[in-house]
Chains A and B, each alone.
Chain A
Amino acid sequence: MHQLRSHIGEGPLLRALAVTLAVFAAALGTFVLVNQRGSDAPSAAGGVSVPPSASTDTRIASYQQLVRSHPSDSRGYDFLGDAYMQKVRETGDASFYKRADGVYTKALQLNPRDPAAVTGAGTLALARHDFSAALGYGQRARELAPFSFQPVGVVVDAQVELGRYQDARRSLQQMIDLRPNLSSYARVSYFRELHGDLSGAIDAMKLAVSAGGGAAENVAYVQTLLGNLYFAVGRRADAREAYRTALETFPGYVPATAGLATVSRRARALRLYRSAVARLPLPQYVIALGELQQAAGKRPDYALVRAEERLLQASGVNTDVDLALFEANHGSPARAVSLAKRAWAAAPSVRSADALGWALTSAGRPGQGLHWARRGLALGSRDPLFLYHAGMSAKAAGRAAVARAYLSESLALNPRFSPLYAPRAERTLKELGA
């Protein structure tokens, strides 16, 4: 017993504590060592094959497993981040943005020159409307991977939103040369739409649909956009068909549900918008529902939009042009002007110019409003809503002929472009004696 006794030492409590701590230290040490060992293992990130047809949840689970087994390979985090971003597109579950942010950040810590992670950071910046940051990420990713098309997509989107249309045209050409696929055709379509080439936009979007590929949601998304283009030119039956196809491709798809509402009779439209809002109460759907209720002579409920605005402010986010238009139509014109000015300062695009013009007109400054509305139409856009804003501003500014021209063009494109504003355009046109 002598030996055992000598092992025990003086203070039994101290001894017990020391032993306890030693065990924890040993356990932790081993744990860390084993994790390190895992990281030295040859990377299998590129070797794991997840079929592209696999559901997003399956892909997420596989990549989570991959990242756990190869925690120091940045590529696993890239795959996982991209799958998270796809999950947001499918469900609108914004908590996946946070996860994507976490894994892209981790990938960049492991390898600051990982082009997929830089691209991912750029996509996230686009999602939070930080277009300058997005452009920076996109360009850096393009330098790191000159032959990859994804970084160019981020660059194109950022340039379009920042109003740099000449740069955007060059980037877009580069993108389509690199990879003529769903992503690049869809961007070509939007670029043509902005420039007023609506039939060219429809052709490009059809190409995007037939290119297909990727997740089912991606196809449903371009089908929905095709429906929106048909709607813009008043081809309601084609639009309905496109939205229905989108809903077949991806059942329950909220953007397609909302699209279907725009080409449905009032009672059905109300039902469809309600179901869209019930599943994903984004401001755009809440506003669309409210405007339809207003057109039906019911009391609209816009308080939810204001609550969402408060959440944006609480988060310190630069608010969107959509909210400026909302304030101009349904809230405080003064607030609309300040929101639109901020939007223009952050992203001087034709969309921002249109919103600023409409805000100024609603605030009783139709002269300036018309000036900005024209800047919004400077590329030749033939968006019925842009044209409506320009026409109403011209009418308020006393420019009857200009007003007639804009309003009749708007109604010629699509006589039912909005349940609330198309009838107003018609009334105004009658007053003007067209």
Chain B
Amino acid sequence: MRRPALLFALVAAALVVAAPSASAHPLGNFSINHLDRLKVSSDRVDVVYILDQAEIPTFQERGFSSAQVLTRKRAEVSRRLELRVDGRVVPLAFAPGAQISYPPGQGGLKLTRVVLPLTARVAHPRVVSLRDGTFPGRVGWKAIVAQPGSGTNVHSNVAASDPTNGLRSYPKSSLSSPLDVRDAALSVKPGDGQLTAPRGDGRVATTHNRSGDGFAGVFADAAAGKGVLVFFLLAAFGWGAVHALSPGHGKTMVAAYLVGTRGTARHAVALGATVTVTHTIGVFALGVVTLLLSALILPEQLYPWLNLVSGLMVVVIGATVLRKRVHQHHDHHHHHHDLTTKGVVAMGASAGLIPCPSALVVLLGAVAQHQVALGLLMIVVFSLGLAGTLTALGLIVVYAQGHVHFSSRLATALPAISALVIVSAGLVLTVQAVPKVV
């Protein structure tokens, strides 16, 4: 304490700064890091409390057995984790499934990792708040993330995304501080599992999570070894199929294209196959690019650009088609509007081109958890589900065309209208993408 200019944390500095070794805890050997995953459903509130203790606090508990450590952590959580529903305190009960493990740390020392599921019975909550006062004064990553529940429509003041993958890896950028979020407030209405939450990068923009990070959540469960692979592949397929119906996946474009070009059933199937292939390639390519650039660029910074480029591409495709229609019309040069497989492939490629963030999250999550093979497999299955829906949609359009008699004027106008639809869809995508880039 005799050196005014030096810091009281001199030894701590030596522990970290001069430590090039990769095994040192990224948040310092003293840190106690914790994360709450908060899920509000119409009849219950679930919290998963995750704890990651660095070497020194783990060492401080060396005299205790793992069961005793678990008891100590439960006691801290019971005492300092407070759930309030509609203004009154609701006790959280420990649910089965608590885990404790001791991953290796630096200098032959160990870390402590604890997962404590908690739950509370509630009835149609309106306002839910969680205050995590555990381990006061200890340095580390402190976060609460919201997850979509069932039967609710939730507006959260904390993010839905967790950049640490459940406190397994921490952002390395020198330009960001560890999170220090100990309070969450959620307003709840009856709904179908919607969650609106601020973006994880700390900016003010909000995103809307459609039935949550379902796919990524499924993956986390699979990685945890709970359940059968087949079940997860089915879930991935189903999720892909549902995901195709969400806005922004080009289904309008695809349908319009098929209508405009009088496709056949064969074309609809080819279209689906192409979407699968391009979407899979897209996710893999973006995954590789993201991994390579992760040191330089945050994926969320990359997305706005990808969206802009895809929007512009769609505009160009639509404009090309439109120009040809108009040209043909003036020349009275009535080709039979037959469709080649190659044409379908081009359309499918542009529809499947921009992989959805959910799929990318799965792939990167898989890489982070050394479950690459499972991640790749699930991406393929996810894309198959996506393509299945698009193909079905295409088939419906094709058969509807066969059974419904259009007037001859309408039949002439349809291709041009479809081209206009494509251009408009592209313009909407572009306009949406621009503000996020500028």
Say yes or no for A407: interface residue by CB 8 A criterion: no
Say yes or no for A379: interface residue by CB 8 A criterion: no
Name the distance in Å between A25's Cβ and chain B's nearest Cβ: 9
Which stretch of B37-45, B332-340, B392-400, B401-409 is in the interface? B332-340
Chain A residue numbers with a CB within 8 Å of B340 are 1, 5, 8
Contact indicator A190/B2 (Cβ below 8 Å): yes
Say yes or no for A113: interface residue by CB 8 A criterion: no
Say yes or no for A200: interface residue by CB 8 A criterion: no
Contact indicator A307/B302 (Cβ below 8 Å): no
Q: Which of A220-244 contact B (CB under 8 A)?
A: 221-222, 224-225, 228
Interface of A is mostly: helix
Name the distance in Å between A27's Cβ and chain B's nearest Cβ: 4
Say yes or no for B18: interface residue by CB 8 A criterion: yes
Say yes or no for A44: interface residue by CB 8 A criterion: no
Contact indicator B106/A282 (Cβ below 8 Å): no
Q: Which of B5-41 contact A (CB under 8 A)?
A: 5-21, 23-24, 26-31
Say yes or no for B108: interface residue by CB 8 A criterion: yes
Q: How large is the interface on B (under 10, 10 to 19, 20 to 34, 35 or more residues)?
A: 35 or more
Contact indicator A315/B28 (Cβ below 8 Å): no
Chain B, residues 256-286, CB within 8 Å of chain A (1/0): the string is: 0000000000000000001001100110011
Say yes or no for A135: interface residue by CB 8 A criterion: no
Chain A residue numbers with a CB within 8 Å of B12 are 88, 92, 94, 97, 280, 282
Q: Which of B159-204 contact A (CB under 8 A)?
A: 173-178, 180
Closest to A127 in B: B13
Q: Which of A290-319 contact B (CB under 8 A)?
A: 303-304, 307-308, 310-317
Closest to B342 in A: A8
Say yes or no for A64: interface residue by CB 8 A criterion: yes
Contact indicator B17/A101 (Cβ below 8 Å): yes
Say yes or no for A322: interface residue by CB 8 A criterion: yes
Q: Given A15-B346, A259-B1, check contact A103 B302 (CB 8 Å).
A: no
Contact indicator B4/A315 (Cβ below 8 Å): no
Alpha-carbon separation in the docked complex, A49 to B5 (Å): 26
Say yes or no for A36: interface residue by CB 8 A criterion: no
Chain B residue numbers with a CB within 8 Å of A124 are 13, 17
Contact indicator B139/A93 (Cβ below 8 Å): yes
Say yes or no for B374: interface residue by CB 8 A criterion: no
Say yes or no for B320: interface residue by CB 8 A criterion: yes
Spell out B's residues near A (CB within 8 Å): 1-21, 23-24, 26-31, 55-57, 59-60, 62, 106-109, 137-140, 173-178, 180, 274, 277-278, 281-282, 285-286, 289, 293, 297, 301-302, 305-306, 308-310, 313, 320-321, 324, 335, 337-338, 340-343, 345-346, 348-350, 353-354, 437
- Of the A-B pairs whose beta carbons lie under 8 Å apart in the complex, a sample of 23, sorted by A's number, is A16-B349, A23-B313, A31-B301, A57-B177, A89-B8, A92-B9, A94-B139, A95-B178, A98-B16, A101-B174, A128-B14, A128-B17, A128-B18, A130-B18, A186-B4, A252-B137, A278-B138, A281-B60, A307-B109, A310-B107, A311-B55, A315-B21, A316-B21
Closest CB pairs A-B (n = 8): A102-B174, A314-B107, A127-B13, A186-B4, A315-B19, A93-B139, A12-B345, A94-B12
